[in-house]
Amino acid sequence: MIGLNHYLLLGTALFGIGVYGVFAKRNAIAVLMSVELMLNAVNVNFVAINRFLQPDAALGQLFAIFVIVVAAAEVSVGLALIISIYRQRQSVNLNDFNLMKW
């Protein structure tokens, strides 16, 4: 019988994959995509807890909607930053992003 634990474990696995992606990738867009994976894992947890612990109140879904809003804002600003840096450096490799170091 599939229960809350299975959904939480799935969310944990997705989150772990995202954490590894943030560390292991050098393309800035790939890092943003890994962050999106982590946010999706959190959403799965919110909705599963809502469904199994408080099915009458849709609070978990409400929080998931706010997470989606913030994620959309984050990805748009992040991609704009990456494009802006690409104009200066001709690269999206994170090792070349040293504009604020000296």
Partner 1 sequence: MKIDDLVFLIISGFTVASALGVVLSRNIVHSALALILTFIGVAMLFFGLGASFLGLVQILVYAGAVSVLTIFAIMLVMKPDPASTNPSTPSRATHILGGLLAWSVVVGLGMAIGFSRWPSLPAEPAGFDTVGVLANLLLGNYVVAFEAAAVLLLLAVVGAIILAKGAEKP
Interacting positions 21-60 with partner 1 (CB under 8 A): 21-27, 29-30, 32-34, 36-37, 40, 43-44, 47-48, 50-53, 55-59
Based on CB atoms, which residue is closest to partner 1, 2 or 101? 2
CB of 102 to partner 1, least distance (A): 21
The span from the CA of 100 to the CA of 102, in Å, is 7
Residue type, 19: V
Q: What residues contact 64, with CB distance under 8 A and at least 6 apart?
A: 43, 46, 47
Q: Which tokens hold the place of 30?
A: 């790939």
Contacts of partner 1 in 75-94 (CB under 8 A): 75-77, 79-84, 86-87, 92-93
